Structure formats: C-alpha cells, structure tokens
Structure 1
Amino acid sequence: MKKMKKRISFFLMSSLILFNFSCYYDQEIDLSQPLPDIPVDQTISFSTDIEPIFAKSGKDCTACHNGNVANPDLQAGNAYADIISQIVPGDAEGSTFYQRLPGNGHPLDVGFVMDNADIALIKAWIDRGAENN
C-alpha cells in the first residue's frame, strides 16, 4: 500500500511538471500592421465580446488556462475574476494581462497568435475601464 501511494504521488507530480512546461512562449505577432480602431461609440461587453475570444475555434486559450494550474482560468464565468488583478482599468499598456496576450509579448507556442482585431478589442475594453458587463 505504501509503495502504491509513492507511485501515485510520483505520477501526479510528474504529470503536473509536464503540464506546466507543455506551453512555452517564443513566438511574436507581427504588429507592423496597426491595430484596428474600435469606434468610441461601440459598446464592448466582457461577457459577449471579450470572454468568447478566449475560446475561439483554433485559438482556444482555455486549453491551458482552465483552472488546473496557476495560470488565470479563462473559462466562461471564471475569466473576469481571474484576470482583473492583472488589469489596470483605463491603461491597457500598463496591464500585465494585455502585455501577455498571445502574440503581444507573451505568445504561446500552440500554433496560433491572437489576431490584431482581438488584441484591439481587448485593448479598447481595458482602456475603457475593463468593466464586468
């Protein structure tokens, strides 16, 4: 029984270590193209505009950011609470969350970078106060 507990502990620790190192950051998005302008009168809702970006087909941030590790949980319903501590409302450039978006200083090597339209929308949302609406 004691041997079994050791094996289970070893397996769990090995799995956790492998999972933590499965995503690494080495790609950069080409920001030579300016971010698209988001009209000032366009309402940006966290729940309908921002949160769905995290689970877009082909850009599923929730594959790693799912509450199982120390990364922010970007799953629907959990994302706002987990990222707000990394956001300076009104200052996207000063927000750790914005600085670490895939393709904007913290890209993941999972075969995608966030496109400029999504980055622009997140930036505008933060710059406008990062409300949980």
Structure 2
Amino acid sequence: MKKNALLILAGCLLLFSTSCYYDELPPEEQIEISPDQEISFAADVLPIIAKYNCAGCHDGGQDPDLRANNAYDALVPQYVTAGDAANSVFFQRLPGKSHPPVNISLTDNELTTIEEWINRGALE
C-alpha cells in the first residue's frame, strides 16, 4: 500500500513538474525608421511617456515634469541635447537603461524611436 502511494505521488509530481514552464514571447519585430520619416515629440515620444505613466512620478514635484502639457518644454534643452542622444540625460536614464522603476523596461523599438527623435533634432 505504501509502495503504491509513493508511486502515485511520484507520478503526480513528475506530471506537475513537466507542466510548469515559462512561455517565451516572440521577438519584437524591429521597426525601420526611414531617413526622411519625421519623428515628433507629440506623435511619437509622448505616447511612450504616457504608456509607462512617467508622469506618475514626474508630476511637477519631481524634475523633469513629464505631464503631457509640460513634458516637451521640461525636457528640451535641459535633459535632451537635440542631435545627440548619446549625451542626452533623458535618453541615458530611460527605464531599461539606468532609471527606475526597476520593473519597467522600454522595448527596443521604443528606445530606437526616442533615440532617433533626439538625433534628428528633437522636434516638437
């Protein structure tokens, strides 16, 4: 009886352990931004800021103020060096690079969009 119970228990453990796995998301399709494609803050960057609720912390009480009506003027030129993403504080501190919150990470496409926006002159 004990032997049968142990075999059943071992079988159940084996069955349950093989059913536990992590689904892997398919890789994100990389966007191509053509050289003549205009990237603007309002159309391309602000939606990313809104998606991650950056204004939840950067609400005017903590710089930069990333509320929709203030974000562009708060970022450019204090945190964004137009034409130079590599030396722009905003780009260096994006989630997934070196800025909290830890559980948020921008996608490669979002990072590329913001980097290209800055490198192309940080248009409003």
TM-score by length of 2: 0.69
Take 1:39 and 1:98, find their aligned partners in 2: how far apart are those partners? 21
* Aligned counterpart, 1:92: 85
Take 1:67 and 1:42, find their aligned partners in 2: how far apart are those partners? 32
Shift of 1:126: 0.3
Take 1:68 and 1:103, find their aligned partners in 2: how far apart are those partners? 23
* Aligned counterpart, 1:108: 101
Q: Which amino acid aligns with 1:104?
A: K
Take 1:37 and 1:127, find their aligned partners in 2: how far apart are those partners? 15
CA contact (8 A) 2:39 2:123 kept: no
Take 1:87 and 1:128, find their aligned partners in 2: how far apart are those partners? 12
Q: Which amino acid aligns with 1:47?
A: A
Unaligned runs of 5+ in 2: 1-27
Matches within 5 A, 1:27-46: 36-46=31-41
* Aligned counterpart, 2:61: 68
Take 1:79 and 1:42, find their aligned partners in 2: how far apart are those partners? 22
CA contact (8 A) 2:40 2:122 kept: no
Change (3 A) 1:49 1:116: same
Larger radius of gyration between Structure 1 and Structure 2: 2
RMSD: 1.8
Unaligned runs of 5+ in 1: 1-32
CA contact (8 A) 1:87 1:126 kept: yes
* Aligned counterpart, 2:122: 130
Q: Which amino acid aligns with 1:83?
A: L
Larger RCO (alpha carbons 8 Å, 6+ apart): 1
When the two structures are aligned, how many residues end up with a matched partner? 95
